[in-house]
C-alpha cells in the first residue's frame, strides 16, 4: 500500500498503460515539457519522448480531430483537456467524429481514445472555467462518459478507459486532485460500466458522482447521527448508466435523491429520472428528487458560488424530508 494523491494515481495509470502498450500516447496543451497543468503527466515526456507525450499548439478542435484520425489508424491517444471546458471548441470533433464516426462508417473504424482532464466548479474560477460538460455531451451517441472521484477509482478507471476500444470522456474534478488514499501495490483495473456502492443502506438511495460524492458523504455523517440509513451510489459511468446497480438499490429503498454538480436543465439527473420512471416507477414510494447546480453561469463571488452548487446541509435536509414523508 502506498499513499497516493489523486493526480499521481492518474499519472501512474498513464505511465503503466504507456509502458504496457506502445501505441498509447498523450497529447494536449502543456502535457510534455511542463508536465500538465495539474501535473498528471509529470516526467512522462522525459521517459517516453516528444512523440508519445506530444505538446500541441492551442488548437483544441484540430488536435482532437487529429487524435480521432490517429485512433482510426491504430493508435490509442489520450487527450488532456487543460480544462475540460476548452473542449467546447472541439465539440464537433468529439460529437461528429469521436462519437458518431464508427456508426456512420458502418463499423469500418473503431476509435479507441480517451479525452480526460479537469472539470467541475473549482474555487472562484469564474463561469468559463467551471463547466460541467458531461451534461452537454451525454446526448452524443457512441461516447462513454466516466467521472472519477477517489485516487483508487481514478487510477483503475483511467486504465480501463485507455484499454477500451471506444471514445471515453473521462472527467476529473479540479478540487479532487489532492485527495489522498492508500493504493494497492499490485496492478488493478476498475470496470468502466459499474457504479460503486459507497455506503450500503436501506432508507433512501443517493445517486451522485465526482465531487458531489464527497458532499453526500459529509451529509451522511449528520444523517447517521439522526438514525437515518442512506445508500450512497457513485454512478462512475454517466453514459451508459449502470441500471443494474441503480435498480437493485431502488428495489431496496424505494426512494431516490440525485445529487449532481451539473445544472438542473438537461442534466445527468434529468436523464436518470426519466429512465427511472421508465423502468422502476412502480417501485417508487416518492417522486425522485434532484439536487443540482443552479441554472446560471457560475459566479466568481465566493458566496454566490457556494450558493450555486449543492451543499451538504441541503442534502441532509432533502433526505430528512423524504424519510419523514415515509408512507
Do 15 and 8 form a contact (C-beta atoms < 8 A)? no
Element of type H or E holding 237: strand 237-239
Sheet with 230-234: strands ordered across: 196-199, 230-234, 204-208, 256-263, 289-293
Do 295 and 264 form a contact (C-beta atoms < 8 A)? yes
Phi and psi based region of residue 92 (left: phi greater than 0; alpha: psi -120 to 50; beta: remaining): alpha
Which of 49, 126, 287, 297 touches another protein by CB under 8 A? Answer: 49
Tell me whether residue 186 is one of the annotated catalytic residues: no
Tell me whether residue 215 is one of the annotated catalytic residues: no
| Per CB under 8 A, 139 contacts another protein | no
Q: Per the residue annotation, which of 29, 80, 129, 173 is the catalytic one?
A: 129
Least gap, CB of 163 to another protein (angstroms): 11
| Per CB under 8 A, 106 contacts another protein | yes
Q: What angle do CA 273, 274, 277 make, to 5 degrees?
A: 85
Residues 6+ apart with CB under 8 A from 224: none
| Per CB under 8 A, 169 contacts another protein | no
Do 115 and 81 form a contact (C-beta atoms < 8 A)? yes
Least gap, CB of 245 to another protein (angstroms): 20
| Per CB under 8 A, 57 contacts another protein | yes
| Per CB under 8 A, 205 contacts another protein | no
| Per CB under 8 A, 254 contacts another protein | no
Question: What b/e readout covers 118-136, taking b as 16+ CB neighbours within 10 angstroms?
Answer: bbbbbeebeeebbbbbbbb
| Per CB under 8 A, 75 contacts another protein | yes
| Per CB under 8 A, 72 contacts another protein | yes
| Per CB under 8 A, 105 contacts another protein | yes
Q: Per the residue annotation, which of 29, 60, 134, 260 is the catalytic one?
A: 60
Binding site for another protein (CB under 8 A): 22-23, 25, 49, 51-52, 56-57, 59, 61-75, 77, 92-93, 96-97, 101-112, 141-142, 144, 164-166
**Residues identified as active-site:** 60, 129
Amino acid at each position: 500500500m502506498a499513499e497516493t494523491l489523486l493526480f499521481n494515481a492518474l499519472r501512474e495509470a498513464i505511465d503503466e498503460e504507456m509502458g504496457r502498450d506502445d501505441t498509447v500516447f498523450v497529447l494536449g496543451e502543456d502535457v510534455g515539457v511542463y508536465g500538465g497543468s495539474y501535473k498528471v503527466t509529470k516526467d512522462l515526456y522525459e521517459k517516453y519522448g516528444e512523440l508519445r507525450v506530444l505538446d500541441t499548439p492551442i488548437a483544441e478542435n484540430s488536435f482532437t480531430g487529429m487524435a480521432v484520425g490517429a485512433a482510426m489508424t491504430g493508435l490509442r491517444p489520450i487527450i488532456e483537456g487543460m480544462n475540460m471546458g476548452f473542449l467546447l471548441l472541439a465539440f464537433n470533433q468529439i460529437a461528429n467524429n469521436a462519437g458518431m464516426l464508427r456508426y456512420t462508417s458502418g463499423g469500418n473504424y473503431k476509435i479507441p481514445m480517451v479525452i480526460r482532464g479537469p472539470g467541475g466548479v473549482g474555487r472562484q474560477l469564474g463561469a468559463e472555467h467551471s463547466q460541467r460538460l458531461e451534461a452537454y455531451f451525454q446526448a452524443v451517441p457512441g461516447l462513454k462518459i466516466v467521472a472519477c472521484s477517489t485516487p483508487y477509482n481514478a487510477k483503475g478507471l483511467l486504465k480501463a478507459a485507455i484499454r477500451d476500444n471506444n471514445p471515453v470522456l473521462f472527467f476529473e474534478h479540479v478540487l479532487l486532485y489532492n485527495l489522498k488514499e492508500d493504493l494497492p501495490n499490485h496492478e488493478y483495473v476498475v470496470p468502466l460500466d459499474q457504479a460503486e456502492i459507497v455506503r450500503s443502506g436501506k432508507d433512501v438511495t443517493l445517486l451522485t458522482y465526482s465531487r458531489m460524492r464527497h458532499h453526500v458523504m459529509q451529509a451522511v455523517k449528520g444523517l447517521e447521527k439522526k438514525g437515518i440509513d442512506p445508500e450512497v451510489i457513485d454512478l462512475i459511468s454517466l453514459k451508459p448508466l449502470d441500471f443494474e446497480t441503480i435498480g437493485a438499490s431502488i428495489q431496496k429503498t424505494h426512494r431516490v435523491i440525485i445529487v449532481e454538480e451539473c445544472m438542473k436543465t438537461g442534466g445527468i439527473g434529468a436523464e436518470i429520472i426519466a429512465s427511472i420512471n421508465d423502468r422502476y416507477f412502480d417501485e417508487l414510494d416518492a417522486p425522485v428528487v434532484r439536487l443540482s447546480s443552479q441554472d446560471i453561469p457560475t459566479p466568481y463571488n465566493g458566496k454566490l458560488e457556494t450558493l450555486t452548487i449543492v451543499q451538504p446541509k441541503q442534502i441532509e435536509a432533502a433526505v430528512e424530508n423524504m424519510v419523514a414523508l415515509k408512507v
